[in-house]
Amino acid sequence: MKLDVNALRYLTKDDFRVLTAVEMGMRNHEIVPAVLVDRIAGLKHGGTYKVLRNLLKNKLVHHDATKYDGYRLTYLGYDFLAIKTLVNRGVFASVGRQIGVGKESDIFEVATEDGTVLAMKLHRLGRTSFRAVKSKRDYLRHRRSFNWLYLSRLAALKEFAFMKALGDHGFPVPTAVDCNRHCVIMSLVQGYPLVQVKELQNPDDVFDTILGLIVRLAEHGLIHCDFNEFNIMIDDDEKITVIDFPQMVSVSHRNAQMFFDRDIECIYKFFNKRFNLTSEKNEEQDGSESDDEGNSRPSFLSVKKAAGSLDKELAASGFTRKEQVEMEKYIDEDAEGHDSGSDDEEEEEEVGDAVPIDSLMIDQDHSNEPDCNLASRDSGVPGTFSEEHGTS
């Protein structure tokens, strides 16, 4: 998905006003009637309609006239709202090149005023689902006004909360910086996804570290659920950083054992195939489970017995039960949707120079946008962005 931040520089205060009005209208309309956008935006002399045409030209909104004259935000429009909010907050000042295309996200470099480079993850739930995963479509068919933007916001919110909690508990994860709508800002990880690494100096040590992380996570009450070579970054010193948390679940999830075993299995398989690691030192020693080759693997049940309560802390941190349930429905539907790295769609990589977004500073009065302020969020329902989002 292209993110032409240049367009951002030419958007006026009125453009953002109307874009925000469309977002607000989407709280209870899949397609927001143009008259409602006009009423929320409150521009004089039919100004809203002219602005809508401009937004449409820039692909920030989608026009739909099947039932009535209406609009909805596109992901690009949602990107712009999030980016503008974060820039206004002083979190970063420019957007640089794209550094990753995930299954359901785009990752860009962004730079702060003082030149520090951070990573920006824009969640794009539904990107693959609409095209590929039938079960997910079936699931969605039974839902009224399902909202991918809302789910992407939930994914970002969850990722931010988990990244922060894991970092606070000493796990090697990126530093969680901020979050707004479907966008998470975190520290830039040096190194490469493990999948790109052909050779390791100490494959045994790296293997042990990674398995140890899965076990330690579970001992804290959590399972990553997508713990594989695509979501493990490794640097030149073979230091590991784990990324990608929206699908994490508690060890008390009903499929926890399966998720745990699958994470372990992925690592075994990968190290076996890539680094020929059938290490004897993994032979049965401690009474834990053995696989067909007689290798002892960390056992979920013994780990679970010792499990701490980070999962409960997180549940109490503002990521509400209801949101957790919404996310888990999505995860369950995605049970076989294991991370396969970059999607094989026709998405183009947008590689551009850093663009200063100084013109974004014009409108500072967006203090009440939905964001990841964990303390003050609504519980949210599909079709809703945030209760704290001031209405017309």
Residues involved in catalysis: 226
Query: How far apart are CB 228 and Mg ion at their closest, in Å?
Result: 8
Among residue numbers 338 through 357, which ones bind Mg ion (CB under 5 A)? 339
Binding flag, residue 100, ligand ADP (CB under 6 A) = yes
Using the minimum distance from each CB to ligand ADP, give the nearer residue, 190 or 309. 190
3-state secondary structure the chain: CCCCCHHHHHCCHHHHHHHHHHHHHCCCCCCEEHHHHHHHHCCCCCHHHHHHHHHHHCCCEEEECCCCCEEEECHHHHHHHHHHHHHHCCCCCEEEEEEEECCCEEEEEEECCCCCEEEEEEECCCHHHHHCCHHHHHHHHCCCCCCHHHHHHHHHHHHHHHHHHHHHCCCCCCCEEEEECCEEEEECCCCEEHHHCCCCCCHHHHHHHHHHHHHHHHHCCEECCCCCCCCEEECCCCCEEECCCCCCEECCCCCHHHHHHHHHHHHHHHHHHHHCCCCHHHECCCCCCECCCCEECCCHHHHHHCCCCHHHHHHHCCCCHHHHHHHHHHHHHCCCCCCCCCCCCCCCCCCCCCEECHHHHHCCCCCCCCCCCHHHCCCCCCCCCCCCCCCC
Using the minimum distance from each CB to ligand ADP, give the nearer residue, 99 or 381. 99
Among residue numbers 300 through 339, which ones bind Mg ion (CB under 5 A)? 339
Q: Which of 20, 48, 58, 231 touches Mg ion (CB under 5 A)?
A: 231
The interface partner of residue 121, options being Mg ion, ligand ADP, none and the CB cut-off 5 to 8 Å by kind, is ligand ADP
Binding flag, residue 29, ligand ADP (CB under 6 A) = no
Instruction: List Cβ neighbours of 147 (8 Å cut-off, separation of 6 or more).
Output: 26, 30, 382, 383, 384
Q: Which of 244, 263, 323, 369 touches ligand ADP (CB under 6 A)?
A: 244
Contacts with ligand ADP, 308-337, as mask; x by CB under 6 A: ------------------------------
Query: How far apart are CB 106 and ligand ADP at their closest, in Å?
Result: 8
Using the minimum distance from each CB to ligand ADP, give the nearer residue, 27 or 121. 121
Q: Which stretch binds ligand ADP (CB under 6 A): 58-66, 98-106, 162-170, 300-308?
A: 98-106
Q: Which stretch binds ligand ADP (CB under 6 A): 70-78, 99-107, 205-213, 360-368?
A: 99-107
Binding flag, residue 43, ligand ADP (CB under 6 A) = no
Pairing verdict, β 94-101 and 105-111: antiparallel
Among residue numbers 157 through 216, which ones bind ligand ADP (CB under 6 A)? 174, 186, 188-189, 193
The site that binds Mg ion (CB under 5 A) totals a number of residues, namely: 5
Binding flag, residue 263, Mg ion (CB under 5 A) = no
Spatial separation of the C-alpha atoms in residues 363 and 14, rounded to whole Å: 10
Binding flag, residue 11, ligand ADP (CB under 6 A) = no
Binding flag, residue 244, Mg ion (CB under 5 A) = yes
Q: Which of 85, 228, 231, 324 touches ligand ADP (CB under 6 A)?
A: 231
Contacts with Mg ion, 264-303, as mask; x by CB under 5 A: ----------------------------------------
Angle of helix 134-141 relative to helix 321-333, nearest 10 degrees, comes to 140
Q: Which of 121, 181, 182, 377 touches ligand ADP (CB under 6 A)?
A: 121
Contacts to Mg ion by CB under 5 A: 102, 230-231, 244, 339
Contacts to ligand ADP by CB under 6 A: 99-100, 102-105, 107, 119, 121, 174, 186, 188-189, 193, 230-231, 243-244, 339
